[in-house]
Amino acid sequence: MFDRLGSFVVNNSKKILVGYLIAITVAGIVGAGMFGSLKSQGYDDLGSDSAAVDTILRKDFNAHDASAILVIDTGSNIDSEVSKAAATEILANVSKEKNVESIVSYWSSGNPTELKSKDGNAGLALVYFNKNISESESAATAAHIQETYDKATGSNRTYVGGLEVLYHAINSQIKTDLTKAESIAIPLNILMLFIVFGAAIAAGLPMIVALGSITGSFFVIYLITRVTDVSIFALNLITGLGLGLGIDYALLIVNRFREELNRTSDVKAAVARTINTAGRTVFFSGLTVALVLASMLVFPQYFLDSFAYAGVSVVLFAVLSSLVALPAVLNLLGTNVDKFKVRRGDLKPREDGAWSWLARNVMRRPTLVIFATLGIIFLSAAPALNVKLSQVDDRVLPAANPAAIASAQIRERFDNQAPIEVVIPTTATTAEVDKYARELSTHTGIISVLTSDIYIQSGKESPLPPDQGIKSSANFHRITMFSSVPSRAIAAQNQIADLRSVPAPVAGTLIGGQSAVFTDSQAGISSHLGIVFAWLSIATLVILFLFTGSVILPIKAVLLNLASLSATLGLLVWVFQEGNAHWLVGNFTVTGALDTSTLVLVAIVAFGLSMDYELFLLSRIKEEHDAGASTTEAVSRGLQKSGRIITAAAILIAIVFACFITSGVTSIKMLGLGIAFAIMIDATIVRGLLVPALMRVAGDWNWWAPAPLRRLHNRFGITE
């Protein structure tokens, strides 16, 4: 296959290049249409009980969340005539805004205590938008209301928050931050590319791969948004991974092309040989990374699914660009690839140098190196023992963001939390529903319980006037509970589990609300982790076995990846959970927990990139070993020929992701720091020290496989 591909590329280079330029232009233009369709949600498990409750509330009870929430601080007792007049005037203006359907406020709903602040100086107003408007109209309406009313007016101060306002704020922040990160990453990478490639022409070649990868992914994501939801956070992965893999694969291809040119003056032969060696490594490396990233499709949240769509698209287009477009350009350039040198000396790879020296010295004292490096890794991983997992909320935004300020006002000044909702099929009698409600009201954290005809607060029950109860629908009774436990707190999971353990009056009883949404989402991730780990392990073990013919090397690779991920988790806990290193990552709100979805994303992307570098290294080591070198000599030569590439690629891709630390969104900071750190520790400590040391200790056992598997590899194995 690679022989035929090499022949096709060298014989059609001009046509390939013209077609490629047309393709990325069209893909970029069409793909730009995705930006208006991306969403800032996607953390919920849509197949859970809580999602079913949400559907029932909307369908049977015509209930939906407020799109915007106003905190109106009058500066004095909100029950006074002056305060009431001021608040009423503000709300009268809001009600006239386009797409506003209704408003429920403290002043219009019988003065419910849930809508009154603890100090008595502020009240809440829940603003509901027309349910028939599009998401873009809803976002525009939310933005307009915030810009118009989030301000001080005389002695009054209005804060505007709520779901739509929060989503709009996150979207806007990410788009701004992405532009900022790219404005830093691209100039830095251009500078580094000149240093790494040593010549101006060669330094520009990674952009060929990156452009194809990014524009192709935009096009695919645009098509996917036509049929399903995609998270806006996927943008960061597309740009970061697109630039990173463009650099990785271009380094490998160009480096091998220089090697082949050093052996022969025939450019076409050098290109063909490059495709058949480095191209083969890129193909199977990309296949491995794509399989790793595709594992996120297992999770029920479209936030993680989005990264699978984006990641797989980026990798496949990066591979395609590296195997077709880049070799075509190299064929046209020939020896001009090294034109306009910016570095002294010969740019062709050396057979002996610093990396082979490092490998030989490591292998002289392998046991010492193993214990020392593992000690560093485990010390870095120690904070991970105290990890606490949660989900993002408004505190993911900068504390000074108006949406975050409004949310903080709601959280800190009001006792009410998002209600816990219970739906019960109407096969249960009203008496059974009331009995169930009384039992639920006795559980820890429940402040009040409301049914169709009773109201329970602090254990005291009182009848409700008919117009204030929650009327049953044709299919369901409904119980609404208010809790003192914040819906995103870790304790909320225990509370929901406790409430769900109460025997229900009839089958089909479901418990939902924001606390249950959080609980179900966390459960949706944790319940699928075993499947994902099995997926990653099997994909890695199979591909590395086919590549090396060994069962020892694939197992070692998985274990080393887990070790470096443990160190990364330890760092993230120390920084974001415990609130350290603000000098490095900038200011963020410390919540005492890590976002589960972002942590999973960091782990899977880092695992995939680690396998990228593992294949880069093992392909050269195995090539030397197959040529007759001993294991020790093969490791030394293989590290010399790949170590510089791996380290340079790691530094460059780490720069790309490290620039995400400048984001104002905490989860993007976490993504940037986590992946950058994982890449660097993998490319230095793991590949430069641990791999040579462990291979020296294992000796010829590195290449061992049982006889049946050896026969399997002889028939189906991947060789050059």
Query: Collapsing DSSP states into helix, strand and coil, what is residue 57?
Result: helix
Return the domain boundaries, the chain: 1-36+176-349, 67-161, 350-386+560-712+716-720, 409-519
Neighbours of 709 (CB within 10 A): 15
Q: State yes or no: pLDDT of 650 exceeds 70.
A: yes
Q: State yes or no: pLDDT of 577 exceeds 60.
A: yes
| CB of 366 closer than 8 Å to CB of 693 | yes
Spatial neighbors of 615 by CB under 8 A, at least 6 apart, are: 281, 284, 285, 288, 544, 547
**CA gyration radius, the chain:** 30
Distance CA 268, CA 257 (A): 10
Q: State yes or no: pLDDT of 641 exceeds 90.
A: no
What percentage of the chain exceeds 70 in pLDDT?
97
| DSSP letter (8 states) at residue 661 | G
135-158 core/surface letters (b: 16 or more CB in 10 A; e: else):
eeebbbbbbebbeebbeeeeebbb
Neighbours of 398 (CB within 10 A): 19
Distance CA 720, CA 715 (A): 14
Residue-wise pLDDT tens digits, 396-416: 899 899 999 998 998 888 876
Banded model confidence at residue 435, pLDDT cuts 50, 70, 90: very high
Distance CA 537, CA 602 (A): 17
Distance CA 277, CA 260 (A): 10
Residue 49: predicted pLDDT: 93
SS3 per residue for 434-502: HHHHHHHHCCCCEEEEECCCEEEECCEEEECCCCCCCCCCCCEEEEEEEECCCCCCHHHHHHHHHHHCC
Residue-wise pLDDT tens digits, 6-64: 888 888 999 999 999 999 999 999 988 888 788 877 778 888 999 999 999 989 988 87
Six-digit token pair at 676?
Answer: 């950058």
Amino acid at 272: A
Residue-wise pLDDT tens digits, 220-256: 999 999 888 888 888 888 988 888 888 888 988 988 8
Residue 350: predicted pLDDT: 63
| CB of 509 closer than 8 Å to CB of 422 | yes
In angstroms, what CA-CA distances link 64 with 102, 375, 470?
12, 53, 15
Residue 349: predicted pLDDT: 58
Distance CA 133, CA 140 (A): 11
Residue-wise pLDDT tens digits, 264-293: 778 899 999 988 888 888 888 888 889 999
Residue-wise pLDDT tens digits, 317-327: 999 999 999 99
Distance CA 677, CA 399 (A): 26
Residue-wise pLDDT tens digits, 291-350: 999 999 999 988 899 999 999 999 999 999 999 999 999 999 888 888 877 766 655 656
CATH number of 409-519: 3.30.70
Question: What average pLDDT score do residues 509-513 get?
Answer: 93
Residue 166: predicted pLDDT: 87
Pairing of strands 68-73, 156-161: antiparallel
Banded model confidence at residue 502, pLDDT cuts 50, 70, 90: very high
Residue 718: predicted pLDDT: 65
| 347: enclosing H helix or E strand | none
What mean pLDDT, rounded, does the chain reach?
87
With the C-alpha atoms ordered 574, 579, 581, 587, is the resulting torsion angle positive or negative? positive
SS3 per residue for 101-139: EEEEECCCCCCCHHHECCCCCEEEEEEEECCCCCHHHHH
Six-digit token pair at 96?
Answer: 């006239």
Give the residues across from 423 on adjacent strands.
Answer: 478, 510
Six-digit token pair at 481?
Answer: 């509970």
Residue 367: predicted pLDDT: 92
Distance CA 65, CA 589 (A): 25
Query: Collapsing DSSP states into helix, strand and coil, what is residue 40?
Result: coil
| CB of 422 closer than 8 Å to CB of 403 | no
Query: Which of the residue ranges 206-215, 433-442, 459-468 would you say has the lowest mean pLDDT?
Result: 459-468
Six-digit token pair at 225?
Answer: 């948004």
Banded model confidence at residue 574, pLDDT cuts 50, 70, 90: very high
Question: What average pLDDT score do residues 424-444 get?
Answer: 92
Q: State yes or no: pLDDT of 715 exceeds 80.
A: no
In angstroms, what CA-CA distances link 284 with 290, 320, 542, 559?
10, 12, 11, 20
With the C-alpha atoms ordered 709, 710, 713, 714, is the resulting torsion angle positive or negative? negative
Distance CA 16, CA 5 (A): 12
Q: Is residue 180 packed enough to be buried (19+ CB in 10 Å), middle (13-18) or exposed (0-12)? A: middle
Residue 385: predicted pLDDT: 93
Question: What average pLDDT score do residues 166-176 get?
Answer: 85
Residue-wise pLDDT tens digits, 529-566: 999 999 998 988 888 888 888 899 889 988 998 999 99
- Classified by CATH at the fold level, domain 67-161 comes out as Alpha-Beta Plaits (3.30.70)
Domain 1-36+176-349 and domain 409-519, same fold? Reply is: no
Residue 202: predicted pLDDT: 86
Residue 387: predicted pLDDT: 92
User: C-alpha angle with apex 609: 385 to 528, nearest 5 degrees?
Assistant: 55
Residue 325: predicted pLDDT: 93
DSSP string for 145-192: HHHHHSEEETTEEEEEESHHHHHHHHHHHHHHHHHHHHHHHHHHHHHH
Question: What average pLDDT score do residues 427-441 get?
Answer: 92
Residue 626: predicted pLDDT: 82
Query: Collapsing DSSP states into helix, strand and coil, what is residue 44?
Result: coil
Distance CA 591, CA 490 (A): 11
Q: Tokens 């008595």 identify what position?
A: 120
Of the CATH numbers 2.60.120, 1.20.950, 1.10.10, 1.20.1640, which one belongs to the domain with range 350-386+560-712+716-720? Answer: 1.20.1640
Six-digit token pair at 145?
Answer: 């209301």
Residue 720: predicted pLDDT: 52
Question: What average pLDDT score do residues 78-96 get?
Answer: 90
| CB of 414 closer than 8 Å to CB of 78 | no
Residue 344: predicted pLDDT: 66
With the CA atoms of 568, 569, 573 and 576 taken in that order, what torsion angle do they form, in degrees rounded to the nearest 10? Answer: 60
Pairing of strands 594-595, 389-390: parallel
Of the CATH numbers 2.40.30.110, 3.50.50.60, 3.40.50.300, 1.20.1640.10, which one belongs to the domain with range 1-36+176-349? Answer: 1.20.1640.10
